[in-house]
Amino acid sequence: MGTQAQKLFLFNWQKFYRLKLHHVLLWICYFNFWAAVYKHQYTSMLFLFFVISIYFVFNAGTFYSVVYYLIPKYFNTHRYGPFFITFIATVLGMSVGLAVTLHLIFKAHDNPYAYYYGPIFMMSLSSNGTVLAGLGAVKLVLDRMKNQRHMRTVEHQRLESELQYLKAQVNPHFLFNAINSVYFLIKKDPDKASETLIKLSDLLRFQLYDCSDEVIAIEKELEYLQNYIALEKLRKGDKIKVEYMPEGNLAGFQIAPFLLIPFLENAFKFVSNNGNGLNEIRFRLTRTDDQLTAVFYNTHDALPKGPVGGIGLKNVKRRLELLYPNRHTLDIEQTSTTYTVTLTLTL
């Protein structure tokens, strides 16, 4: 009920502004303000209403000329000189037209000075330039806020689309590697291939059903990583020593899904393949206060030609920029025999 009422309230305000009803409210306030100010100086409220109506016609005409013609044509295009010149000319023209109209209508009155040097004169001085400048400034501020909201919305939609695209790339990238693992085992060890398919189905189930949100519990991400490690160990057997070292309290917070897996994939992809030497992968995860540090280490045979990582690391780097702007550091250290990635997130 609360959500429906909130949507209804929001819709009504949107409709209110779309129908320009705030303009009606503005001019009603205009009438009431001047009527309240000068009601004691006129014996006839009908006469006062008639006088204010004349001012309304000129002020409203000038206001809409400024707001819907001068501002879009000159001010919004940064032509400030022509804008101020035409604005002053418009206000002066309105004042002259108002004076002529008042003279033509009230020239037969017994006391014409009441209209030119009394309350009406004060109304003209205080309302013409001040009201137009004030309302024009309000219009500019509102337009600027509206444009900024629109730009933020467009930018948010663009970033959301990019994030969805980057996230969607993770699935086929992982699936490609996993299928290669199964294919490798089918002829070599059918039993292991069958067990690998079961692990793979668990991982795919996680991708399909458990990670549709923007963030997930760290426990789910770690479970996914452990299943992936188990999958790769089935493929590579005892050739690789894999260590997972969790430190600190790694529960009770959330993280963007698939943020850590590309680094682990990279470690398995480029790990060394020494027949007699040590082939090692270490994954250490540490939490200190509001910081999470993940360290991925692997040995490798020789320096690869070109940068290590390919689409996986490029993908995760861009996701980090979008999801954790100014809240992450990514350090990559490469030697002739080891490769270390250190990621620090501010949660």
Q: Which residue has the higher pLDDT, 45 or 298?
A: 298
What is the average pLDDT value for the chain, to the nearest integer?
Answer: 76
Reduced to 3 states, what is the DSSP secondary structure of residue 342? strand
Query: 49-58, 225-234, 308-317: lowest mean pLDDT where?
Result: 308-317
Q: What percent of the chain has pLDDT over 70?
A: 72
> pLDDT per residue over 88-120, tens digit each?
888 777 777 777 777 777 664 445 444 444 455
User: How does 240-261 read in b/e, with b if 16+ C-beta sit within 10 Å?
Assistant: bebeeeeeeeeeeeebbbbbbb
Surface-to-core class of residue 65, CB atoms within 10 Å of its CB (0-12 exposed, 13-18 middle, 19+ buried):
middle
> pLDDT per residue over 39-49, tens digit each?
777 777 787 88
Q: What span, in angstroms and rounded, lies between the C-alpha atoms of 56 and 123?
A: 11
Long-range residue pairs from 120-124, CB within 8 A, at least 24 positions apart, any chain: 120/51, 123/34, 123/38, 123/55, 124/55, 124/95, 124/98, 124/99
Within 10 angstroms of residue 185's Cβ, the number of other Cβ atoms is 20
Band of the pLDDT at 312, cuts 50, 70, 90? low
> pLDDT per residue over 218-267, tens digit each?
888 888 888 888 878 877 777 889 999 888 788 888 888 888 888 988 89
Band of the pLDDT at 9, cuts 50, 70, 90? very low
Structural domains in the chain plus CATH codes: 12-153 (no CATH), 189-346 (3.30.565.10)
What average pLDDT does the segment 197-213 reach? 73
